[in-house]
Amino acid sequence: MEIKEGTLSKIAYLLILLIWLIGAALTGIGVYLFLETREIGTCINDELAPLMVVLIAIGGVLLVTAMLGLVGVCKKKSVVLSGFLAAMIIVLLAQFAAVVIMFIFESSVRYYMQDGMSHSLLFYGKGGDNAKFTESWDYVQENHKCCGQYGWADYTTPNASNWHSTNFGSLPDTCCKTKTDKCGSNVIDKSDLKKEPSGMYTEGCYDIMEDYIKNWMTIAGSGALVFMFVQVMAIFLNISLHRRYREHEDYQLQSKKVKQVKDAQPDAQRPGV
């Protein structure tokens, strides 16, 4: 049984509205993650931020594309729906490529993080152009409740951090469970470097941040796959709607031409006169 055009239009309208809402959500999440990766990127790896820019771009394009589709359905214009369908197919292909890249990156995240964190921790505590590494590490340690790459003992190892040479026996204040000025000073027992300092975060940031990034990437990738299914439904539905609008427009155009021909004929030449 063929679905009536009015019912089809309502379903298409709701699907496109859903796409618009998802596009808004993707843009918002992308902006949040972009700001987050700007804070943690220097500590972990600066290659995270471009992935978030792609997410923002896809969300923004979807917002504009969905508006185009809504106008096409409301105005019943096949040419507008043609633009909407073309844009949706391009976005769908771009999303598929982004999801593939995301899952590939997820499998390599351990390598990127290990290399990036080992390098950035070497510059912790230095000023000048290297101050950005200290700021990024402080943000990660304070907000994710961890200390060092593999644990607080990284700050007692000469090869792991610059901190050892100038602040041996102390930990950064951002490693404190209750942060106050100089709360990390002389908290390490220099006679027993294996003894955990009290009142400090002791778990390393590496495992915590790896889980954090993988979780977000899994959520984003899974959400994108579900959304792609919605997009495919919307594309096929609007192809059917586009065909009906086009047939209606062709009928109206043909009727207009017939009327013009009749109006141009003298009364004596018209059939039945």
216, exposed or middle or buried, with CB in 10 Å at 0-12, 13-18, 19+? middle
Report for 31-45, 101-115, 146-160, 254-268: range of highest mean pLDDT? 146-160
Look at the block and give the residue holding tokens 């959500």. Answer: 25
CA distance 144 to 36: 12
Tell me which of 47 and 193 has the higher pLDDT: 193
Tokens representing residue 157 in the block: 């190892």
Q: What is the pLDDT of residue 1?
A: 45
Assess whether pLDDT exceeds 80 at residue 37: no
CA distance 81 to 59: 19
- pLDDT above 90: percentage of residues in the chain: 15
Q: What is the pTM of this model?
A: 0.70
